[in-house]
Amino acid sequence: MNNLKDRIGASDMSLLKPMMVAKRRRMYPLFFHMGPVALCITSVLLIALMAVLYLSQLGQAVSANQQLQDIHAQQATLQRQNQDLMDIIAQEQSPAYIADNAKKLGLVPAEPQLVQVVTVPKLRPIKDNGHIQP
């Protein structure tokens, strides 16, 4: 210390004292007190933990992506089936299809002159939403 005093002078010594006190008070983190082996083991463990967490997140993302692709494929299949059913309904509601099937079943159009209307005395008409059904 005397050698240091001689080199810097007495006036600069007043600046040196607070710096030395600050150096003694400085708190070093725990890993500065660890030896190189302990520091390496801690580092490896932290890196392994981060790798496991990363792989876990990656696995969840891949699983969610696979589920999403399966749902999209299922949606496309259902949309095709829906369109096919809509086409079948449109075809079966067409007058030509109905007439064809009626002929296959042996049905023929009725002639208006041969239709007999049966009237039942004292029968009241059925009301449905304000409309009278014959």
User: How do residues 57-68 score in pLDDT, each as one tens digit?
Assistant: 999 999 999 999
pLDDT digits over 75-127, tens only? 999 999 999 999 999 999 999 999 999 999 999 888 888 888 888 888 887 77
Q: Does position 32 have pLDDT exceeding 70, yes or no?
A: no
Amino acid at 58: L
| Cβ(42)–Cβ(34) below 8 Å | yes
pLDDT given at position 112: 84
Cα distances from 91 to residues 37, 58, 70, 99, 108, in angstroms, run 81, 50, 32, 12, 21
Quick one: pLDDT band at residue 44, thresholds 50, 70, 90? very high
Phi first, then psi: what are they for 13, rounded to 5°? -65, -30
Calpha distance 87→91 (Å, rounded): 6
Q: Which of 50, 47, 68 has the alpha carbon at shortest distance from 58?
A: 50
